Amino acid sequence: MTVGLGNTIDPWLWLGGSALLAVAASQVLWNLERTAEPDSWPSRIPDWYRHSSAAQLLRLVYYLCLPFAALLWGRDAVIGRLLGLQSVSFVTLITSNPAAGAVANWTDWIRDLGWAGGLAALAWAVLGAGWLLMRRTFNRPRPTGQPSGWTSLREAVFHETHWAFYRNGPAVALGPYYGAWMGLGLVILEALLNPYWRAGLQDPQLAAGYLVRAGTAVLSAVLFLQTQNLGLAIAAHWAVTWGFAATVQADLLGPQAQGSSQPRETATAWHTDQV
């Protein structure tokens, strides 16, 4: 009886601890940025967090090590299948027909790959339409800085693992379908409690990056319902964010490339590094 109760509560303890840590960190960084004395060491912490390699190591611990610690030591607090961990098998020995098992495994991967490609293309199209609307509404917004492919990949790995972790507890309690949407709701709640998100969504120069992050969170939830494959979710997220940033970059630089005298503009960094 006690063990069963512990296994029921453990996913929510890990999830709650992760959410509280994210909210607390964002509030501390926000307050330091606005209340600390100029040139004091507390005022330099937010900038250190954005640009330091050590800060990226801390983010790796939070986004990756915490979920996998729960997977390894959390007494079923995280279920590998619901986290989206899928194997690739050339031969499946546990079936009476190993070759048939391997074929079935690869067939599942091909099906999942089709879903990932199709949904990523749809997300790209929707975001492209949103970008055109933003250009008309805000008269050519001037976002700053295009992320590199490796930066986009890092952010895709971090955020997809984080979102999968938030889906896990609800999926254990409610099943994959309702768990996926409740997990997305928790991600939205965490974002609304983040002052950087609230401020960014109100700034035309920053809003696009945050909206793209929100769009990939919805993509992640839908892709989970179809594939439950974390690896493909990361690949789709990476393709959408990096590819869309490159598309916007080309769009903004189009007039210049054709000999226009308009000043150079750069595409937004479509990732948000705030916790």
**Alpha-carbon distance 184 to 168, whole Å?**
11
Quick: pLDDT tens for 201-227.
888 778 888 889 999 999 999 999 999
In terms of average pLDDT, the best of 23-32, 78-87, 91-100 is: 23-32
- Asked which of 78-87, 150-159, 208-217 is least confident by mean pLDDT, the reply is 78-87
**Cα distance between the two ends of the chain:** 37
**Alpha-carbon distance 163 to 215, whole Å?**
13
- Label residue 18 by pLDDT band (50, 70, 90): very high
Domain ranges for the chain: 79-257
- Fill in the DSSP letter of residue 90: S
Please tell me the predicted confidence (pLDDT) of residue 189.
96
**Alpha-carbon distance 242 to 193, whole Å?**
27
- What letter represents residue 267's amino acid? A
**What is the reported pTM?**
0.82
CB 55 within 8 A of CB 63: no
